[in-house]
Chains A and B, each alone.
Chain A
């Protein structure tokens, strides 16, 4: 039992460490923002996000702040990307969702809010996955202990089994719905003009429509400077890779460069 408690404690600490508060001070950047010096604030947010503190993880707060600054400095497409990144890190963060909705509306890009998105305002996928896994494993451990210690109490055994099944079921559901699962293969159209979807990866390819700046796309295939994308509405085609920015940003190196 002692070993089990040690293990569970370690697991808990691991969970907490995933949401650790980092010693990064955004106070001065926020002060610049409040003072109306949004260009300076934006520069500060970008510098902070390029620091080594974010070599392995991101901060939805900083991406949200950056999105606000980009919005104020007249960069709506970049702001939409920042808000999307904030939502990747914290899918239930309502202010970012509202800002994104507003910006996409101004860009003429449809914004779909699914029931799952609304559910994330109640519980985050991270909490579902980790909480469900912990509940599931605790249920299994309880089942094993009860089976050998007091298997006559069928009710407790059934409850433990339900915890095991329900916990891992919730964890699985969280994993399946977590936007980060597919974010690595998604990108946002960030070119100033609407790139043309082409049937073949060449400028001479047959045009198959255009994508508005700010559109979220799934990157289905990559062929050099051309990426085969889908906008989720049945439109697929090849577009130049420099018109799309991956949803997961290139992480800064640990040395801070």
Chain B
């Protein structure tokens, strides 16, 4: 984008002059300050001029304690003295004082044409003074004379060279935001203006760089061009409009909006060509200009982002923030039986139409509804104002005389409260068709209409085709492939076995132990009865018979023992003497007989 395109022939001339300078003179390097002393709060410019070379290797920063000196750009100058042409490259540094005092800018080393050159040191002083007064009284940098080789300086007093304004007067930016405190989702118009001194041609490069974390800036439409006078200077003004919206609450400091440009400013006119008469001949403008890259910036913008209140948030709120109104129209109020009808809900106003959800239908009993399609007609190039239309397709499931109503809620940032708009049901006479209604293209019938319900385990949407809200985790592997399931199953096996064991032992305990232990105890009891001197004869023989019967011996051997024992017992039981203790000799004989039944003597073998 070029504001002033009259420089073509001058560039051509410069090219010719540059070509003529191929046989350039010796290389020389010099340094010059725009002002040798400044007040605190102002800045100066240091120019490093390399004559006789197309390029040079110069430092990007120059270290001076108390000063900050940084390279800001370079330009090319062409000089012609007595038809002898020489070209120069001027490297511009900005000198920013960090404190007051006297300084010496040291000699600067420059590598040019394969040789190293050194400039002379320059004295520089910073005087104290209030920032405001300094800024107000800061003079425009003095015109700089082109550095000329010794001996070629004109003897007469130097003629006035074209004025070179300071960078901040050449171009500057301004940003205007109607509000400093906005709500999340609220769209705020922002105007960004870039001012360029109308005296100098300027070429805009790139796009406006603006935005920040948590804040969205809509795309910039083409800027508007205008002219404006500030402090007696006429400026070409580029005005950009955009919309800002925030996505999360908090304080945000947006970096300055920036626009890169290149301005042609006068400079480098050699003696003889800076004559006003000569300039008059050239249309009043100097043919000798230098390009200066400018990053034109606005001031930074601070915004306080407030969250939308949770209190009194309507259920039908779908994220719309702004100021809206609502209207409803039935496109075909008398559809044929079974045919769909269309309910058109229009939301107009200004706000964040892009994030606006559809209105909620009310009184929709007896209607099968589908997710609406929407269309937005913007009234401005930023899509800040306009009308968003939602088309609802309705199919009557019962005889209906009225359409559903609609409810739409938004947050009004001016009133700082939620607002709910409603539309009343409109006349719509519709009856269901006799045959099943095929699903519309692009819309899927609700699950209930298809006869197979959405399973309870799934958090199904209200309407198919809508994304689901709740998020649950499900494993990609079947439970039997998961370690936790296998561990749980193993644990169940162990628990079952343990439970069975515990119950078995308790049962055993309740029953007096195992058969073997009970037999063992019984045998011991019988043996003690047989051995007891106090036992009567019948008890002894009863015990002996039972004892012999419990011994694990061949049946014939057992019968050979138990037979006589039973006979003797019966004799005592049914005769006399059974109630007296057994004589010792008979007891010993009986014990010997019983010992002969088993190896354990007292217990025998246990089966």
Q: Which residues of chain A have a CB within 8 Å of any CB of chain B?
A: 3-4, 7, 11, 14, 18-22, 24, 26-27, 29-31, 33-37, 41, 53-54, 56-62, 64-65, 68-69, 88-90, 92-95, 98-99, 102, 118, 120-122, 124-127, 129-130, 133, 137, 140-141, 144-145, 147-149, 175, 178, 180-181, 183-184, 248, 251
**A151 CA to B286 CA in the complex, in Å?**
118
With a CB–CB cut-off of 8 A, which chain A residues contact B358? 34
Q: Which residue of B lies closest to A125 (CB)?
A: B478
- Per-position binary interface string of chain B over residues 494-514, scored 1 when its CB falls under 8 Å from any chain A CB and 0 otherwise: 011001100110110000000
- Verify A60–B458 contact, CB threshold 8 A: yes
Which B residues, 207 to 245, have Cβ-Cβ distances below 8 Å to chain A?
none
- Verify A248–B455 contact, CB threshold 8 A: no
19 more contacts with CB within 8 A, not counting A95-B444, A95-B447, are A19-B473, A21-B473, A30-B469, A31-B357, A41-B467, A57-B475, A59-B474, A60-B474, A61-B469, A61-B471, A62-B471, A68-B467, A95-B460, A125-B478, A127-B457, A140-B496, A144-B499, A148-B506, A178-B479
| Given A59-B473, A90-B457, A102-B444, residue A4 in contact with residue B499 (CB < 8 A) | yes
B149 within 8 A of partner (CB) = no
Q: Which residue of B lies closest to A96 (CB)?
A: B458
- Verify A122–B455 contact, CB threshold 8 A: yes
With a CB–CB cut-off of 8 A, which chain B residues contact A125? 478
B434 within 8 A of partner (CB) = no
- Per-position binary interface string of chain B over residues 477-496, scored 1 when its CB falls under 8 Å from any chain A CB and 0 otherwise: 11111001100110110011
With a CB–CB cut-off of 8 A, which chain A residues contact B318? 34
**A93 CA to B465 CA in the complex, in Å?**
13
A sample of 5 cross-chain residue pairs with beta-carbon separation below 8 angstroms, ordered by A number, consists of: A7-B495, A68-B467, A90-B458, A129-B485, A133-B489
**A60 CA to B457 CA in the complex, in Å?**
12
- Verify A251–B476 contact, CB threshold 8 A: yes
| Given A22-B472, A90-B457, A118-B452, residue A68 in contact with residue B356 (CB < 8 A) | no
* Among B455, B478, B500, contact of A121 (Cβ-Cβ < 8 Å): B455
Kindly count the residue-residue contacts between A and B in the assembled complex, taking CB atoms under 8 Å apart: 185
Q: Which residue of B lies closest to A180 (CB)?
A: B478
- Verify B476–A98 contact, CB threshold 8 A: no
Q: Which residues of chain B have a CB within 8 Å of any CB of chain A?
A: 318-319, 354-358, 374, 444, 447, 450, 452-455, 457-461, 464-481, 484-485, 488-489, 491-492, 495-496, 499-500, 503-504, 506-507
With a CB–CB cut-off of 8 A, which chain B residues contact A90? 457-458, 474
**A171 CA to B180 CA in the complex, in Å?**
63
Min distance, Cβ A44 to any Cβ of chain B, angstroms: 10
Secondary structure of the A side of the interface?
Answer: helix
- Verify B496–A144 contact, CB threshold 8 A: yes
Min distance, Cβ A39 to any Cβ of chain B, angstroms: 13
- Verify A26–B458 contact, CB threshold 8 A: no
- Verify A26–B471 contact, CB threshold 8 A: yes
- Verify A95–B481 contact, CB threshold 8 A: no
- Verify A180–B470 contact, CB threshold 8 A: no
| Given A4-B495, A129-B479, residue A61 in contact with residue B455 (CB < 8 A) | no
- Verify A137–B496 contact, CB threshold 8 A: yes
- Verify B473–A64 contact, CB threshold 8 A: no
Min distance, Cβ A112 to any Cβ of chain B, angstroms: 16
**A124 CA to B466 CA in the complex, in Å?**
23
- Verify A180–B476 contact, CB threshold 8 A: yes
- Verify A26–B453 contact, CB threshold 8 A: no
- Verify A56–B457 contact, CB threshold 8 A: no
With a CB–CB cut-off of 8 A, which chain A residues contact B472? 19-22, 59-61
Min distance, Cβ B453 to any Cβ of chain A, angstroms: 7
- Verify A65–B468 contact, CB threshold 8 A: yes
- Verify B478–A88 contact, CB threshold 8 A: no
Min distance, Cβ B444 to any Cβ of chain A, angstroms: 6
- Verify B492–A148 contact, CB threshold 8 A: no
Q: Which residue of B lies closest to A92 (CB)?
A: B455
Q: Which residue of B lies closest to A95 (CB)?
A: B464
| Given A7-B495, A35-B354, A144-B500, residue A61 in contact with residue B470 (CB < 8 A) | yes
**A62 CA to B474 CA in the complex, in Å?**
11
- Verify A58–B470 contact, CB threshold 8 A: no
Q: Which residue of B lies closest to A248 (CB)?
A: B476
Min distance, Cβ A136 to any Cβ of chain B, angstroms: 9
With a CB–CB cut-off of 8 A, which chain B residues contact A98? 444, 447, 450, 464
